[in-house]
Chains A and B, each alone.
Chain A
Amino acid sequence: MKNEYDVIVVGAGPAGSIAARYAAEGGASVIMLEKDRDVGYPVRCGEAISKVGVSEFITPDERWISAHISKFALISPDGTEAVIEFGDAGYVLERRIFDYELAKTAANAGAEIVTRAYVNGLLFENGKVSGVKYEYRGEQKELKAKIVIGADGVESRIGRWAGLKTYVDFREMECCVQVTASNINVKGDTLYFYFGENVAPGGYFWIFPKVNGAANIGLGVSGMVGKKRSALSFLNNFMENNFPNAPVLTAIAGGVPSSITLEKISAPGIMLVGDAARQVNPLSGGGIASGMIGGSIAGRIAAEAIERNSLDHILKYDKAWHERLGKRHELFEKIKNGIYNFSDDKFNKIAHSFNKIPYEKRTLGKLFTTALFNQPSLLVDVAKVFII
């Protein structure tokens, strides 16, 4: 380990690893600090991702692909199943291996990685972030850098220490629980989404298949719902009613910041990526792909700033992210607010009318169009994304 680096990345999730890799590939000296013992574990994720989302960053490899996905099934409260076919469009990952392999690509590009390094403060010089304080095997240490990239996930605190407002409104936090269970009798090529008051009010319930008859089964509810009833009690209910005897292999809790991106994701000496920047797609709750995209933009811009010896350059990151995905997420947030407040009756009606569309003509765009039929203003927005 050196005394000083161009870039310190905090957190070795997908966003951190990609940021570290792009910064290193751009010629910067990079170190990535991770508080956990192992990169990729524990896995707090449903592990679903689109093929496009993966391929931009790593060549798909069967070692970390648990299932190949070609269909979505949306199940309304009365049990009506609306199925949409996509062709060979997505995966359910084995993130334990996937995250590890992503970190390896960062290491191969020249980034150093240290696990069990818990970052608990920032260093400042002339009002600019100039490094981190961290605890490593019981010892308090400091490390200097020109740029710190905060990739510390939903529990991120780094931005706050640099004066950015980063905490999530509890109403926008999707509070999740998930089990990975075996002997789950669902189709291996389909992602199942359940809606309704009884399964996941203001969110959705999912079953994502994995290899050998296992599946990730979980849900997220807004903190607003959590005031009255926890995510756990919904999951217990669902499991008792549907899979009372399924052996549970793992059980985890987790949070998804389902909001638009933070107003500011960079400040002098610091950039935020992934969940830490709230770069999750607020409609789907998916944050692996968007986190990697955020990481790649930040890593690239950080390396440019070092190369040009112009640290102000990192402030360009906000705009670059906004144009690539941030703007889109603002629209998704509007759609989410439209949809997640639907009554059970409305979900049922949507599923019924959607199923009248001939099977081969059903698309995600059509589904949203059906869903938002009575909300013309939103419909125009949706059309822009899915139809035009």
Chain B
Amino acid sequence: MNYRQAKTGKLLIDILPDKCDFCGCCVGVCPEDAIELKEAEIFIIDERCTNCAKCIWSCPIEVIKFNRDGVVSKAI
């Protein structure tokens, strides 16, 4: 899997695009309007994301992960 790299050194949220169902749960709960969701394309707008993790908790099929120093985990 090809993860985006953190530009800021902060934790980064990653969505595994091959596994995403494009259901919009994560977009609905994101307080920062930091997720862009098209018909079958999804990405995080890094500049807006505060790493609050709400999207991770809301993804029904566990395809959003934290990417800390290249290590991906579900919890903070």
Contacts and interface: CB of A to CB of B under 8 A. Distances in A.
B28 A231 contact: no
B25 A253 contact: yes
A51 B57 CA distance: 35
A175 B23 CA distance: 10
A298 to B, nearest CB: 20
Contacts of A255: 23-25, 28-29, 58, 60
A177 B38 CA distance: 20
B28 A155 contact: yes
Contact of B25 (A160, A173, A224): A173
B62 A230 contact: yes
Nearest to A34: B39
Contact of B60 (A160, A167, A168, A253): A253
Interface in B21-43: 21, 23-25, 27-31, 33, 36-39
A226 interface: yes
Interface string A144-170: 000000000111110010000001111
B38 A252 contact: no
Given A157-B33, A169-B29, A173-B29, A37 B39 contact: yes
A347 interface: no
Contacts of A176: 25, 60
A171 to B, nearest CB: 9
A252 B39 contact: no
B44 to A, nearest CB: 14
A128 interface: no
B15 interface: no
A252 B58 contact: no
A226 B59 contact: yes
Contacts of B31: 167
Given A35-B38, A157-B33, A170-B54, A257 B60 contact: no
Contacts of B23: 44, 154-155, 252-255
Nearest to A255: B25
B61 interface: yes
Interface of B: 21, 23-25, 27-31, 33, 36-39, 54, 57-62
Given A167-B29, A230-B61, A254-B60, 5 more contacts: A154-B28, A155-B25, A226-B59, A230-B62, A231-B60
Contact of B37 (A155, A224, A227): A155
A116 interface: yes
A168 B61 contact: no
A263 to B, nearest CB: 16
Q: B23, B37, B58: which has the most chain A beta carbons within 10 Å? A: B58
Given A44-B23, A226-B57, A168 B62 contact: no
Contacts of A156: 28
A333 interface: no
A168 B28 contact: yes
B60 A232 contact: yes
Nearest to B52: A170
A154 B60 contact: no
Contacts of B62: 230, 232-233
B58 A170 contact: yes
Contact of B61 (A116, A157, A253): A253
A227 B27 CA distance: 16
